[in-house]
Amino acid sequence: MQKPKNQKVEHPFMRLQIELARLIQETEPGERLPSEPQLAKDLGVSRATLREGMRTFEAQGRIRRRQGVGTFVVGKTRVIESGLEVLESIERLAGRIDLKVSMGALEVSEINAGNEEAQNLQVNEGATLVRISRVIYTDQRPVAYLVDTLLPDILTQMELAEGFTGSVLDFLQKRGTPRLDQSFTDIQAVAARPSIARMLEIQRDDVLLLFTARLFDDQHRVIDYSHSYFLPGYFRFHVIRRLDNSPSGA
């Protein structure tokens, strides 16, 4: 029998998304969803398809998957929102909505510059650099993983031990030296590598927002080369774009 021409055919993946949304909506925050094998069986899909469907809801901050523990429904989360025209720290942005942030898993180490670091920090390969890695939490949930690679004269181990709370930008602005000028940032969506996934308590290959930035001082020197990984469901970035009102073809 031929289907009517105007009859809407629902795509299987769209149907899966609708079913998952209904299940999440009906589950109390903090409660665990059925196991992946059981859920895949109930919904009539493979576990691979189920995981792909769940990525959308994890990116939105509606569920939290923990390796070896299960998948939990998350209560309504406050989103850290910012324009991209002005460089500001997570702490400062969170403070505007009265959201407490904290730092965990701080690691400070000396590294030798590889080709990437040498090019971006304008130093010779093999030069000594300082790398600062840490996880940023909101509401006891890791939401960002930040890695800054700096010239060795910018921050000392003693300074980091005494007054560092997570933001290199805030620390340098408060200290006043060197005088900061601007940042050049590339933005892209990336799949979480296993090491970063562990830090953020997500699944490998889950989507993250990656900001790769070079911070310049007022002498046009690159002093900080950073990689900032953000969970999309907890951050919203926007940009104000100026219209070109010049005559067409001008």
Q: Which long-range contacts (CB under 8 A, 24 or more apart) does 54-60 make?
A: 54/20, 55/203, 55/206, 55/207, 56/17, 57/20, 57/21, 57/24, 58/202, 58/203, 58/206, 58/233, 59/206, 59/207, 59/231, 59/232, 59/233, 60/232, 60/233
Residue 1, pLDDT > 50, answer no
* Ramachandran region, residue 249 (left: φ > 0; alpha: ψ -120 to 50; beta: rest): left
Q: Cα separation of 45 and 51, whole Å?
A: 10
Residues 158 and 215 in one domain: yes
Q: Using the predicted structure, report yes or no on whether residue 250 has a pLDDT greater than 80.
A: no
Q: Do 85 and 125 share a structural domain?
A: yes
CATH number, domain with residue 183: 3.40.1410.10
Would 92 be classed as within a structural domain? yes
Asked if the model's pLDDT at residue 203 lies above 70, the reply is yes
Q: What is the mean pLDDT of residues 136-164?
A: 89
Rounded to an integer, what is the distance from CA 4 to the centroid of its chain? 46
Task: Say whether both 19 and 142 belong to one domain.
Answer: no
Residues across the chain: 250
pTM confidence score: 0.80
Q: How many CB atoms lie within 10 A of CB 82?
A: 17
Closest CA to 151 of 125, 169, 131: 131
Is the pLDDT assigned to residue 89 strictly greater than 80?
yes
C-alpha dist (Å) from residue 71 to 33, 47, 58, 65, 175? 6, 14, 10, 4, 43
Is the pLDDT at 125 greater than 60? The verdict is: yes
User: Are residue 162 and residue 117 in the same domain, yes or no?
Assistant: yes
| In a shared domain, residues 66 and 135 | no
The domain boundary, picked from 38, 54, 73, lies at 73
Number of neighbours of residue 54 by Cβ within 10 angstroms: 23
Residues 21 and 90 in one domain: no
The pLDDT of residue 202 is above 60: yes
φ and ψ of 19, to 5 deg: -65, -40
Q: Is residue 243 part of a domain?
A: no
**Residue 220 has which token pair?**
């046009």
Give the structural domain span for 127.
81-238
Mean pLDDT throughout 1-19?
A: 67
Mean pLDDT of 157-166: 83
Give the number of domains in the chain: 2
pLDDT at 10: 56
Choose the final residue of a domain: 34, 56, 73. Answer: 73
First-residue to last-residue Cα distance in the chain: 59
Is the pLDDT assigned to residue 108 strictly greater than 50? Answer: yes
Q: Is residue 222 situated within a structural domain? A: yes
Q: pLDDT tens digits for 214-224?
A: 999 999 999 99
Same domain, 55 and 95: no
Domain check: are 57 and 158 in the same one? no
**42 and 99 fall within a common domain:** no
* Residues 129 and 41 grouped into a single domain: no
201 shares a domain with 224: yes
